[in-house]
Amino acid sequence: MSVTKRRQPYGFWPSMISARRMAQRARLEEVQFAGDGLVWLESRGKQGQLVYQPKDGARRELLFEHSARGGVGYGGGEFAAGERCLFFVHQGRQIMRYDFETGVVRAVTPAWGWFSAPMPSPDGRWLAFVHEDGDQAGLGLVESNGGWLIRLDGRADFYMQPVWSPDGKALAWVEWDNPNMPWDATRLALARLGGEPPQTAEKMIIAGGQEEGVFTQPCFSPDGKRLAYLAAQGEWDELMLFDLESGERQVIYSTQGYHLSTPAWVQGQRTLAWLPDGKRLLVIRNRAGLAELCEVEIESGAVRVIPAAPYTWLRQLSVHPRSGEIALLASSPRLAERILRWDGARWNEIACTDAWLLPEEWFAEPQAVEWKLPDGEAVYGWFYPPQNPQAEGEGLPPLIVHVHGGPTSAVVLDFPREAAYFTSRGYGWLEVNHRGSSGYGRAYQQALNGNWGEADVVDTVGGARFLAQQGWVDENRMAVMGGSAGGYTVLNCLVRYPGVFKAGVALYPVADLIALARETHRFERYYTDRLIAPFPQAAALYRKRSPLYQASQIRDALAIFQGEEDKAVPPSQNKALVEQLRSLGVPHLFRLYPGEGHGFRAPETIEDFYQQTERFLQDYMLFG
């Protein structure tokens, strides 16, 4: 049945995607096999809820007085599931054990420091984990029923991805040191364990070093004789095998045009897994935001794509150790994220976020776009046109240019909740994958080094102007929006290109690079050394590229949203910026949310953000 569309002004279309729907959504974060069933993590506001689905039974929620949240860095690595129990990190501070049969939850570690990535040994007696306490990081061990914490290694600055060998006599992990980030240079370590309790008897570095490349996700073969891992030593990625007996390294799959992982902003990312026969590996490859699941034969190197249409983004791969069944999280621009289970013949949908079961015609189909820099190099993005089955506009639509965070990150072809909120109201939406974004080769990702605050700004403004030149959007009604590093780009766009955008919306933006270098959390303490230049030697350059010190050049309306407990970008930066905006008479909005950090979780915060932003854009972009 066709619906007659009503002609209404852009930006004022009635939408089923309300601010409350945005606030009440649950996010699927992780999925793992637990025996023949599945356990997954749903992020519900500030609550991290674990859900258990037996293969032939009713699903049940597992946590009532606890919240599963990884505590190291930006989180991740919240739980590990086994046959009879699972281990999870409660609010980042303590590892707990949940028994499936009894439903009993008990502490395994004291509430001391920050924990992530619990990993039980094959015999279930021991639990490895990543731990941080102040300025110290380490790889630890504890009895699975609870006990004293044992430090296995503490010589590196950062750790992630601990994994046991099948016989429980070895442990592999990824480590790295300052000033690197995990996508700059890491080491793949292997430790032979011995004694009672187990201690590191011998440690060796399998691959990596300061500038030798990035090595991620070690994965022991089912027979324990080989270690698979992912390497990024050139422009793209390689799937590698290390023979534990001979020490031989072998390239199994050299992608030539694909990445096999994404930047490790959080713990516990999984794109690689062995199948039970030990003859094949599964890997999720991606390029320019599109992901595919591939099966790689060890002997021949043959690669077979396992069809997953209509889904375009896949993550958190899990394989049943006996049956070889596959579970993962999947989404597309028109299908909200869901849990899929592959039985060898077909995908079965296990769970979805109910709040987003809307007809597909409410969601715009993205168009890949690219524009040229003066030197001829391309910049990439995705354009979402206005989309609403009940309304249409007249003339050219307004545009919101969105800049992702990181900045070493990317916009991929997953489910675009934020874009849908605005496109369903009659806005065009451009996602900018500026230089420095992942998914387009390592040279493109590294092109922002030394150029942050300049290249990202040029690319963002260039994307907006490109769409206007194509006649797709109204050049007199454009806004720019972004959070964290994306918010930093927003501020610099208003500083350096006044008048291009009628308004800017910045969520917890970096305003003062000097304060950032001094005060940010330990994970990113030296991040700007590579993105800008070493600090404090380059303090003058930090000041020049800091929007706080160039605020007098801002003319266009600016909305800033900030969490009161933000440790990555302390609120003092944006309080100082707002004071300058006030003294300069620049139209602005400032919302400081109690209890929120670097990213908003509380439903009331998220609802208020969308309501305030929509009104702000109407006032200063549509009416202004």
Contact criterion met (CB below 8 Å) for 283 and 294: yes
Of the candidates 264, 350, 226, the one whose C-alpha atom is nearest the C-alpha of residue 72 is: 264
Residue 355 predicted with pLDDT over 80: no
Report the candidate in 589, 583, 580 with the shortest Cα–Cα distance to residue 558. Answer: 589
Residues 103 and 246 in one domain: yes
Same domain? For 58 and 174 the reply is: yes
If one counts the domains in the chain, the total is 2
Does 405 share its domain with 515? yes
Does 614 reside within a domain? Answer: yes
Contact 474, 500 (CB under 8 A): no
245 and 100 in a single domain? The answer is yes
Provide the token pair at 96.
Answer: 């707990």
Residues 373 and 519 grouped into a single domain: yes
CA 574 to CA 512: how far, in whole Å? Answer: 8
Arithmetic mean of pLDDT, 595-624: 94
pTM, entire model = 0.95
d(CA 105, CA 68): 12
The answer to whether residue 432 is domain-embedded is yes
Question: What would the pLDDT profile of 491-538 be if each residue is shown by its tens digit?
Answer: 999 999 999 999 999 999 999 999 999 988 899 999 999 999 999 999
Inter-residue contact 130 to 159 (CB < 8 Å): yes
Q: Are residues 600 and 495 in the same domain?
A: yes
pLDDT band for position 372 (cuts 50, 70, 90): very high
Q: Are residues 232 and 377 in the same domain?
A: no
In a domain, 303, yes or no: no
Residue 521 has a pLDDT of: 86
25 has pLDDT over 80: no
Compute the distance between CA of residue 46 and CA of residue 82 in angstroms, rounded to an integer.
25
What mean pLDDT value characterizes the chain? 95
Residues 381 and 254 in one domain: no
Name the residue range of residue 440's domain: 11-18+358-622
* pLDDT tens, position by position, 256-282: 899 999 999 999 999 999 999 999 999
Q: How many helices (H) and strands (E) does the chain have?
A: 10, 38
Q: Give the model confidence (pLDDT) of 27-45 as tens digits.
A: 999 999 999 999 999 998 8
pLDDT(483) > 70:
yes
The per-residue pLDDT for range 111-160, each reduced to its tens digit, is 999 999 999 999 999 999 999 998 899 999 999 999 999 999 999 999 99
Q: State the CATH number of the domain containing residue 85.
A: 2.120.10.30
Q: Is residue 84 part of a domain?
A: yes
DSSP secondary structure letter of residue 146: -
Q: Which residue has the higher pLDDT, 23 or 221?
A: 221
Span 197-231, pLDDT tens digits: 999 999 999 998 766 678 889 999 999 999 999 99
Point out the domain boundary residue: 253, 269, 285.
269
Average pLDDT over residues 431-437: 98
Side-chain-facing half-sphere of 324: CA atoms under 13 Å: 13
pLDDT of 16 reads: 94
DSSP-based three-state secondary structure for 369:
strand
What pLDDT was estimated at residue 211? Answer: 61
Q: Does 44 fall in a domain?
A: yes
**For the residues 311-322, what does the mean pLDDT come to?**
97
In terms of domains, do 496 and 599 share one?
yes
Nearest to 139 by CA among 181, 170, 167, 111: 170
* Interacting residues of 218 by C-beta distance below 8 A, sequence separation 6+: 161, 163, 172, 173, 174, 188, 190, 206, 227, 228, 229
- pLDDT tens figures, 77-89: 999 999 899 999 9
Helix (H, G, I), strand (E, B) or coil at 488: helix
Asked whether residue 89 is domain-assigned, the answer is yes
- Grade residue 406 by pLDDT with cuts at 50, 70 and 90: very high
CB neighbourhood size of 155 (10 A)? 11
What is the band of 233 on the pLDDT scale with cuts at 50, 70, 90? confident
Which CATH number belongs to the domain containing residue 394 in this structure? Answer: 3.40.50.1820
* Residue that terminates a domain, selected from 269, 284, 314: 269
| Confidence grade of residue 2 (pLDDT, cut at 50, 70, 90) | low
- Please give the Cα distance from 371 to 355 (Å, whole number): 36
The two structure tokens encoding residue 510: 């970096």
Q: Is the pLDDT of residue 392 over 60?
A: yes
Do 97 and 214 share a structural domain?
Answer: yes
Do 170 and 70 fall within a single domain?
Answer: yes
Q: Which residue in 297, 305, 342, 340 sits closest to 323, CA to CA?
A: 342
> Under a CB-based contact definition with an 8 Å cutoff, are residues 116 and 97 in contact?
no
Distance CA 61, CA 66 (A): 11
Is the residue at 423 inside a domain? yes
End position of a domain, from candidates 269, 285, 304: 269
Give the type of residue at 547: P
Both 486 and 600 in a single domain?
A: yes
Does any domain span residue 468? yes
d(CA 129, CA 387): 46
